[in-house]
């Protein structure tokens, strides 16, 4: 299988500005485009997430590191007994260093490339050489540091033999699993092609000629008529138009979108990107048929097909795992610290007015999915506005006495920590807006071009806009534009350090209650 070899990338912020100036209709909230029968069936079949090669190889590294460490520790405890002082001072550092070094050496020896894992027998010599070299280095280090007499030679030999057996066994099992996962669609990168005709056919042929390719082409979308773009290209059906692709990509789990149009069709490419950049996908422009050539480092490759990177899907693979771990840890910590506040708020709401303590509101989540967001009820039950058709303003008679306080202090948002644990929200991200939210006369999508691009990541309990002074009532068009600009900045510059900064600045910024009603 092929990995996409990363190279230089377009400046996504500059491209975003160009897209906003491109001549196309505003990014309104249209009814979802109706898909044809084949497109619906395909989307249903692709509704489950797949596992990327990056995730699989990362898990293999972790599993082999753990296995080498635990096998060596088990042999030591069985042969030498639980000599805690000796174990802690000498054996544990050696086991940790040796296991980690083995993984690094195998990485440098290309033992974690997916084509190598698919045909494990061809990598056995490299794996064996890497493990042998690692223990040889350990032996040399022990000799020069005069620690070699501390370690049991029987243990060292047994760890070498058992470690080699573990590595060979893991590679054999994984090679079998990869072939099965490839057949079942578990391990693949799913791609759709925008644009038909000869250029799309040449691209498909180029991808399919690579024997170890991990790209699965799921269909073709094109706005052109059948005369210029046939219904079937290289055996793949045309599933619909570019507008229908937006609906399709929100039902199916797609990883990549490849635009098979010539670079000379600049206006058409920009119009397509204006529709499609709001999707949380890798967006690539096929360059195999273009006469204009850039430096080799300007391309990424799928097999032998060169692609120009337009947009990358934000927060993917191990970044998403790290962010999820961050969310769970800090949400549990916040619930443990703030449960007395939440309990007291629930009691106060019950004493203040009739109705439920928790209010559920439909809001836009990741990839424009509709989710239920939890809040402490701050309005009289009979005046609640689940669709947020009328935004809360200063002195709003719908808000209860307790509601005014918890809204000003943002205590009403605390139940959203449970949304985070559920997986609907992240701790940090663009704040989720109600489905029908808007300013006085227009919905947000009618005010801001590219509004839905803020849904390329999970929404958050707090975000960059909230700590940048754009918290509270949205009573004019400029405020929602500034919020969306902050959200897009966050998406394009995400890191765990940025999340940590936003998280710890949020309580300080909450002291400013000027715009919170």
Q: What is the pLDDT along the chain (517 residues), one digit of tens a residue?
A: 343 333 334 455 555 555 555 544 444 444 456 788 888 888 888 877 777 778 888 889 999 999 999 999 998 888 877 655 566 677 888 899 999 999 999 999 988 887 778 787 888 899 999 999 999 998 888 777 777 677 788 888 999 999 999 999 999 998 888 877 766 666 778 889 988 778 888 888 888 887 667 788 888 998 877 777 778 888 888 888 888 888 888 888 888 899 888 766 777 888 888 888 888 888 888 875 555 555 555 567 776 777 888 888 888 888 888 999 999 999 999 999 999 999 999 999 989 888 899 988 888 889 888 899 999 998 888 777 666 666 676 777 888 888 888 888 888 899 999 999 999 999 999 998 887 776 666 777 777 777 888 889 999 999 998 888 877 667 677 888 888 889 999 998 999 999 999 999 988 877 665 555 4
> How many domains are contained in the chain?
3
Give one DSSP letter per residue of 314-357, joined into a string: SS-HHHHHHHHHHHHHHHHHHHHHHHHHHHHHHHHHHHHSSS-S
Does a structural domain hold residue 5? no
Same domain (yes/no): 434, 308: no
Of the residues 184, 216, 251, the one at which a domain ends: 184
Same domain (yes/no): 76, 37: no
Q: Does the pTM exceed 0.75?
A: yes
Of the residues 184, 216, 240, the one at which a domain ends: 184
Same domain (yes/no): 179, 108: yes
Instruction: Report the C-alpha gap between 77 and 174 in whole angstroms.
Output: 29
- We report the CATH number of the domain holding residue 192 as 3.40.50.20
What tokens appear for 132 in the block? Answer: 């042998």
Does a structural domain hold residue 517? no
3-state secondary structure of 232: strand
Does a structural domain hold residue 356? yes
Same domain (yes/no): 36, 78: no
Does a structural domain hold residue 457? yes
Same domain (yes/no): 161, 252: no
Dihedral of alpha carbons 187, 39, 247, 206, sign: positive
Same domain (yes/no): 107, 33: no
Of the residues 296, 313, 330, the one at which a domain ends: 313
Does a structural domain hold residue 104? yes
Same domain (yes/no): 160, 31: no
Same domain (yes/no): 278, 345: no
Q: Which residues pair with 296 in a beta bridge?
A: none
Same domain (yes/no): 342, 489: yes
Does a structural domain hold residue 247? yes
Does a structural domain hold residue 66? yes
Same domain (yes/no): 342, 484: yes
Which domain range does residue 411 map to?
Answer: 318-509
Instruction: Report the C-alpha gap between 243 and 240 in whole angstroms.
Output: 8
E strand intervals along 116-246: 189-194, 215-221, 232-233, 236-240
Same domain (yes/no): 242, 355: no
Same domain (yes/no): 425, 405: yes
Which pLDDT score, from 0 to 100, does residue 57 have?
86
Task: Judge whether 176 and 243 are in contact, CB under 8 Å.
Answer: no
Does a structural domain hold residue 221? yes
Contacts of 287 by beta carbon, 8 Å cutoff, 6+ apart: 263, 294, 299, 306, 307, 308
């Amino acid at each position: 299988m092929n990995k996409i070899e990363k190279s230089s990338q377009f400046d996504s912020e500059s491209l975003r500005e160009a897209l906003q100036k491109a001549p196309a209709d505003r990014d309104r909230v249209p009814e979802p485009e109706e898909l044809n029968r084949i497109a619906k069936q395909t989307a249903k079949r692709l509704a489950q997430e797949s596992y990327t090669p990056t995730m699989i190889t990362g898990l293999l590294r972790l599993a082999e590191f753990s296995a080498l460490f635990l096998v060596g520790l088990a042999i030591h405890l069985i042969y030498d007994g639980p000599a805690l002082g000796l174990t802690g001072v000498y054996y544990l550092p050696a086991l940790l260093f040796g296991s980690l070094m083995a993984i690094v050496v195998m990485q440098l020896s290309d033992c974690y490339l997916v084509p190598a894992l698919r045909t494990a027998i061809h990598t056995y010599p490299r794996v064996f050489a890497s493990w042998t070299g690692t223990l040889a280095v350990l032996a040399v280090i022990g000799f020069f540091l005069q620690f070699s007499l501390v370690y049991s030679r029987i243990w060292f030999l047994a760890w070498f033999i058992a470690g080699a057996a573990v590595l060979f066994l893991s590679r054999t099992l994984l090679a079998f699993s990869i072939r099965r996962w490839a057949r079942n669609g578990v391990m693949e990168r799913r791609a759709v092609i925008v644009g038909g005709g000869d250029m799309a056919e040449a691209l498909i042929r180029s991808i399919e000629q690579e024997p170890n390719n991990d790209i699965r082409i799921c269909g073709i979308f094109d706005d052109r008529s059948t005369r210029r773009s046939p219904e079937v290209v290289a055996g793949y059906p045309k599933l619909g138009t570019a507008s229908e692709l937006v609906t399709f990509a929100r039902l199916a789990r797609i990883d990549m979108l490849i635009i098979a149009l010539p670079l000379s069709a600049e206006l058409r490419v920009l119009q397509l990107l204006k529709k499609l950049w709001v999707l949380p996908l890798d967006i690539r422009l096929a360059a195999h048929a273009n006469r204009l050539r850039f430096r080799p480092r300007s391309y990424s490759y799928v097999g032998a097909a060169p692609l120009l990177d337009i947009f990358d899907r934000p927060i993917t693979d191990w970044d998403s795992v790290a962010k999820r771990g961050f969310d769970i840890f800090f949400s549990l910590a916040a619930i443990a610290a703030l449960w007395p506040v939440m309990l007291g708020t629930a009691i106060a709401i019950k004493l203040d007015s009739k109705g439920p303590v928790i209010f559920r509101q439909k809001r836009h989540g990741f990839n424009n999915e509709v989710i239920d967001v939890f809040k402490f009820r701050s309005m009289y039950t009979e005046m609640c506005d689940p669709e947020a058709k009328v935004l809360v303003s200063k002195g709003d008679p719908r808000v209860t006495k307790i509601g005014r306080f918890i809204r000003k202090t943002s205590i009403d948002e605390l139940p959203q920590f449970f949304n985070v644990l559920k997986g609907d929200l992240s701790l940090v991200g663009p704040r989720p807006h109600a489905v029908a939210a808007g300013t006085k006369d227009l919905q947000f999508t009618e005010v801001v071009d590219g509004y839905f691009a803020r849904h390329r990541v999970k929404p958050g309990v707090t975000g960059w806009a909230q700590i940048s002074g754009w918290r509270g009532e949205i009573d004019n068009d400029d405020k929602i534009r500034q919020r969306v600009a902050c959200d897009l900045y966050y998406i394009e510059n995400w890191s765990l350090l940025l999340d940590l900064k936003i998280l710890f600045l949020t309580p300080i910024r909450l002291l400013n209650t000027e715009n919170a009603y």
